[in-house]
Amino acid sequence: MSDRHQNELVEAHLVLADGTVFEGEAMGAVVEVATGEVVFNTVLSGYQEVITDPSYAGQVISFTYPHIGNYGISEADSESARPFCRGVIVRELAHRPSNWRSTVDLGTWLAAHGVPGITGIDTRRLTRHIREAGSMPCAFGTADEATLRAAAQAERGTDGLDLVAGVTTPVRYTVGDGPLRVVAYDFGIKTSILRQLSRIATVEVVPASTPAHELLDNPPDGVFLSNGPGDPAAVTYAISNIAGLLGQVPVFGICLGHQLLATALGGDTYKLPFGHHGGNHPVKRLRDNAVEITSQNHNYAVTVGSVNSADVTHLNLNDGVVEGLRSRDVAAFSVQYHPEAGPGPHDARYLFEEFKDLMIAFRAVH
């Protein structure tokens, strides 16, 4: 990377599709124009896990916490092999991280992965604007404002796009050596999820388009539906495959996997105004009214009352979004949030044990 990336302040602008302009400086990979759908994330730490979450494909992440990069980058904390997001927005980038685990600073790491960013942005103003106007396309970089405005208005966003195809694994692979056998559909799976699943099973990760019949030729103890980016309604092949698995094997879904399972059960999804992105979302577990503080990252949600064959198990206390479902007819359940907590609190990790218990119970009677 050149010294220009590291030391010089290069003037840049962020322009939203509605014409709102923010001034800043380029960081990471310095480019004239970068585009994507801008969303904000409220985590206080865990920026590396957020940036490497494949669920952010197609999006530009704005962090509400003012100082980002304080503890640098540790490759052991990445949730995927590389970032899939379109860019990163921060108020103030730390150039000199302080952490014995750190191997490189955030700006250098972003540049090495070709991820553009912009610092010096009034992220409080940006967040307030997104909360009022909703998530929208944006453009940022060193180009002039007119060029950036045109690019933002031409950016399609994530609606109706199959972004899963760009993040899924191209080949099957196996992790863990647990006593049960789980097949995990990779719609954009995170390392933290595989780490939790590996404690209860040997996990075979398969591409998102793998047909259901290939799995049923040698039925696993369970099938896991991972997180992933974009509009669930656009991933039609996944919905069809899940429908073919229901009733044949136990199924557990997280995030996009939750939305896809709900759709396969006959439900509908819709896009939230600005999504849920953060590590502090309160969720009520309806069976005992316990409150879990959860990690979340999604722009779409399951329509309330649209899944007639399933019970709602969890609700978001901020806005009433359906956060969990359990089928009454088949062995299948899902949650909208991230119980693996990478990053985030560990309140909901018990769900992996519930998946284990469901698989054991299913195997005992089949």
Query: Is 79 part of the annotated catalytic residue set?
Result: no
Tokens of 295: 């990690």
Yes or no: say if 255 and 338 are a contact pair by the CB < 8 Å rule: yes
Catalytic residue among 255, 258, 277, 298: 255
Beta-carbon contacts of 217 under 8 Å, excluding residues fewer than 6 positions away, are none
- The radius of gyration computed from the CA coordinates of the chain, to the nearest angstrom, equals 20
Question: If we measure between CA atoms, which residue out of 176, 185, 180 comes closest to residue 355?
Answer: 180
Sign of torsion, CA 173 176 182 186?
negative
10 Å CB burial of residue 276 (0-12, 13-18, 19+) is buried
**What are the Cα distances from residue 10, in Å, to 6, 13, 15, 96?**
10, 10, 16, 19
Which of 88, 76, 89, 26 is CA-nearest to residue 49? Answer: 76
Q: Active site includes 340?
A: yes
| Strand ranges of the sheet holding 322-327, from the earlier edge strand across to the other edge | 173-175, 201-207, 180-186, 222-225, 251-254, 332-335, 322-327, 310-316, 269-285, 290-302
Q: Give the residue among 91, 53, 40, 86 at the shortest CA–CA distance from 70.
A: 91
d(CA 302, CA 95): 41
Residues in the chain: 366
SS3 state at 137: strand
Catalytic residue, chosen from 5, 258, 298, 338, is: 338
DSSP secondary structure letter of residue 225: E
Query: Which residue numbers are catalytic?
Result: 255, 338, 340
